[in-house]
Amino acid sequence: MTRKVTLGARLSPVLAVFALALPLHATPVDDQLVIEGENGPVEIVTEAPAPVHLKGVLETIYSGWRFRNAETRALERDDFDNPGMVFVDRGRDKWNAAIGAKGESCASCHGGPESLKGLRAVTPRVDEKTGALMTLENYIDTCLTQRMGLESWNWTSTDMSDMLALISMQSRGMAVNVAIDGPAAPYWEQGKEIYYTRYGQLEMACANCHEQYFGHMIRADHLSQGQTNGFPVYRLKDAGLLSAQKRFVGCVRDTRAETFKPNSPEFKALELYVASRGNGLSVEGVSVRH
């Protein structure tokens, strides 16, 4: 059962960190994103009607890009300025490297990385053949361990984030479109439940910050809807690339709760659910956030 978040009479302690003088209509900035890449400009949808399953909850969905300041937004307009592109280049080198036990590379079986075009837009998804819920990381890991005779890459390793960056770039500009019905339904329900559950000493759910208060300031941050269409994200603060689940870890920790681990069943289900809240926004490839 999903517990809807309501603000009871007893205010959660964290609300003290929201500035009390909230602007009446806290909104994302009005701006448009066209990314200049090596193959010409790509238009990015950063605002779209909310998917049907969010009816009555949200009318419009926005990319996190629309909540960042002008300087940060500018870094994503041109791949030349985007510090995340270094990871894409490194991912391409890894893609072509003969690292397999028999000297094989990703390219020996898959050809160019463009053969994975579209995959980022539909993952996490339930794999037709195995029935398992698969993130991009799970697919990469399956090839490493079952097809190349290699050890698993750590979920938060640079090898993994480089490959995520390269594969995500192949779907830049495509609409996020994860399936939530059929075999995905139980995972989606599980993720939804987690999204609305209050965690930690601060008793905050994802929904408190990203559904109820997006557009407002929390400490020095302009709260977004917590969408994942931009992932992996180059985070200026960390000077590094973040996967969606790595971002979730940070958000849960901020509520002073014990967090689930990357690749846990809980975070995989949550990643599917959060992705579905962004169905209709563009995959950004590698985005830039502060």
Q: Is 251 annotated as catalytic?
A: yes
Which lies closer to ligand HEC via its Cβ, residue 33 or residue 148? Answer: 148
**How far is it, in rounded angstroms, from Cα 47 to Cα 27?**
12
**Least separation in angstroms between CB 80 and ligand HEC:** 21
Question: Cα dist. 188→79, 125, 170, 265 in Å?
Answer: 34, 10, 25, 11
Question: Mask: binding to ligand HEC, 92-131, rule CB under 6 A, as x and -?
Answer: --------x---x-x-xxx-----x--x---------x--
Residue 48 gets which letter from DSSP? E
Residue in the shown chain whose Cβ atom is closest to ligand HEC: 64
Which lies closer to ligand HEC via its Cβ, residue 40 or residue 208? Answer: 208
Question: Mask: binding to ligand HEC, 17-56, rule CB under 6 A, as x and -?
Answer: ----------------------------------------
Listed in order, strand segments (DSSP E) in 28-140 are 33-37, 40-44, 47-49, 60-62, 125-126, 133-134
Site membership for ligand HEC, residue 206 (CB under 6 A)? yes
Per the residue annotation, which of 106, 206, 209, 251 is the catalytic one?
251
- Burial state string for 199-220 with b = 16 or more CB within 10 A and e = fewer than 16: bbebbbbbbbbbbebbbebeee
**How far is it, in rounded angstroms, from Cα 249 to Cα 245?**
6
Site membership for ligand HEC, residue 252 (CB under 6 A)? yes
Site membership for ligand HEC, residue 218 (CB under 6 A)? yes
**How far is it, in rounded angstroms, from Cα 120 to Cα 118?**
6
Residue at token pair 């837009």? 121
What type of residue sits at position 166? L
**Catalytic residue set:** 251
What is the contact surface with ligand HEC in residues (CB under 6 A)?
A: 14, 64, 67, 100, 104, 106, 108-110, 116, 119, 129, 139-140, 143-144, 147-148, 163, 167, 204, 206, 208-210, 218, 221, 223-224, 226-228, 230, 233, 244, 247-248, 251-252, 254-255, 270, 274, 289
